[in-house]
Amino acid sequence: VRWLVAEAVAVREETPRTRTIELAVPGWTGHRPGQHVDVRLTAEDGYQAQRSYSIGSAPRREGLELTVERIDDGEVSPYLVDELRPGDRLEVRGPIGGYFVWEPDLGGPLLLVAGGSGVVPLMSMLRHHAAVGSDVSARLVYSSRTLADVIYRGELDGLAGPAVEIVQTLTREQPAGWNGYTRRIDEALLEEVAWPPAERPLAYVCGPTLLVEAAAEALAGLGHEPARIRTERFGPTGG
């Protein structure tokens, strides 16, 4: 897998802590929804640092979008969120990962469970689902701390439709009139919003380790087959 030179062509703020970076990558050949890339930065003295970031955009040939959350004591994410601007260049290689991937031929129902910036690879799946007009039933269960922390907020509202349902929980603070969930994703919540095990949903769980451990264990506890629960975890040192 070769390193490719990428140029930031646009950046946009998603939340106070996260930013989407649109990259043009000559030589890029597309990705499968759920995959990630390695990003490498090079300082003036030749020092390099690299990290992995999930791709948020639907597959396309011209490049990709990353949505990056700032880890305050991180090394790479503060640069990507606060410093990078259009015209700047970095290196990427990928796409990486072939398991935490959903494409329409894998079927469904498609159960997506996200905490915080764990929504990014799941958004690639939902955007792809919309782009190809898939009729696979999909449901995103998405936990954020507050409404201001919800990544892709406006777009998520637009994605909801006959085949796609968006279920949100705000665990720390809710706006007046909030009628979504207000607690962490636990077994009772998943029992309410996930399909019954007999319908054999294909589940993708992504977020901080604690959330992923809890959600994956809850799904298994409800009787979902472990082999149909795929997980991806963002450790505390993702930054």
Partner 1 sequence: MSFISRGFKGRRPEGAPPGRIPPGQHLTPDFPVLSAGPTPRSPLAEWTFTVEGAVAEVRRWTWEEFRALPSEEITTDIHCVTTWSKLDTRWEGVSVDTLLEAAGADAPFVMAFCDGGYTTNLPLEDVSDGKSWVAYAYGGEPLEPEHGGPARLLVPHLYFWKSAKWVRGLRLLEEDEPGFWESLGYHMRGDPWLEQRYWGD
Binding residues for partner 1, rule: CB under 8 A, are 1, 5, 38, 40-44, 46-52, 75, 79, 83-84, 88-91, 93, 96-100, 209, 213, 216-217, 219-220, 226-227, 229-231, 233, 235-238
Smallest gap from Cβ 173 to partner 1, in A, equals: 27
Which of residues 34 and 156 has its CB atom nearest to partner 1 in the complex? 34
Smallest gap from Cβ 237 to partner 1, in A, equals: 4
Which of residues 200 and 230 has its CB atom nearest to partner 1 in the complex? 230
The pairing of beta strand 229-234 with beta strand 202-208: parallel
Smallest gap from Cβ 114 to partner 1, in A, equals: 16
Which of residues 11 and 166 has its CB atom nearest to partner 1 in the complex? 11
Q: Quote the CA–CA distance of 80 and 51 in Å, as a whole number.
A: 11
Which of residues 58 and 113 has its CB atom nearest to partner 1 in the complex? 113
Which of residues 98 and 133 has its CB atom nearest to partner 1 in the complex? 98
Smallest gap from Cβ 83 to partner 1, in A, equals: 5
Q: Quote the CA–CA distance of 74 and 122 in Å, as a whole number.
A: 23
Look at the chain and count its residues: 239
Q: Quick one: how far is CA 78 from the chain centroid?
A: 18
Q: Quote the CA–CA distance of 134 and 200 in Å, as a whole number.
A: 18
Smallest gap from Cβ 216 to partner 1, in A, equals: 4
**81, 18 Cβ separation under 8 angstroms:** yes
Which of residues 124 and 168 has its CB atom nearest to partner 1 in the complex? 124
Smallest gap from Cβ 81 to partner 1, in A, equals: 13
Question: Burial letters for 100-118: b for 16+ Cβ neighbours within 10 Å, e otherwise?
Answer: bbbebeeebbbbbbbbbbb
Smallest gap from Cβ 175 to partner 1, in A, equals: 33
Which of residues 48 and 179 has its CB atom nearest to partner 1 in the complex? 48
- E-state strands within 33-137: 36-42, 48-54, 63-69, 89-96, 110-115
Who contacts 212 (Cβ-Cβ below 8 Å, separation ≥6)? 115, 118, 205, 206, 231, 232, 233
Q: Give, for 164, the enclosing helix (H) or strand (E).
A: strand 164-170
Please work out, in degrees rounded to the nearest 5, the angle formed at the alpha carbon of residue 99 by the alpha carbons of 95 and 100: 80
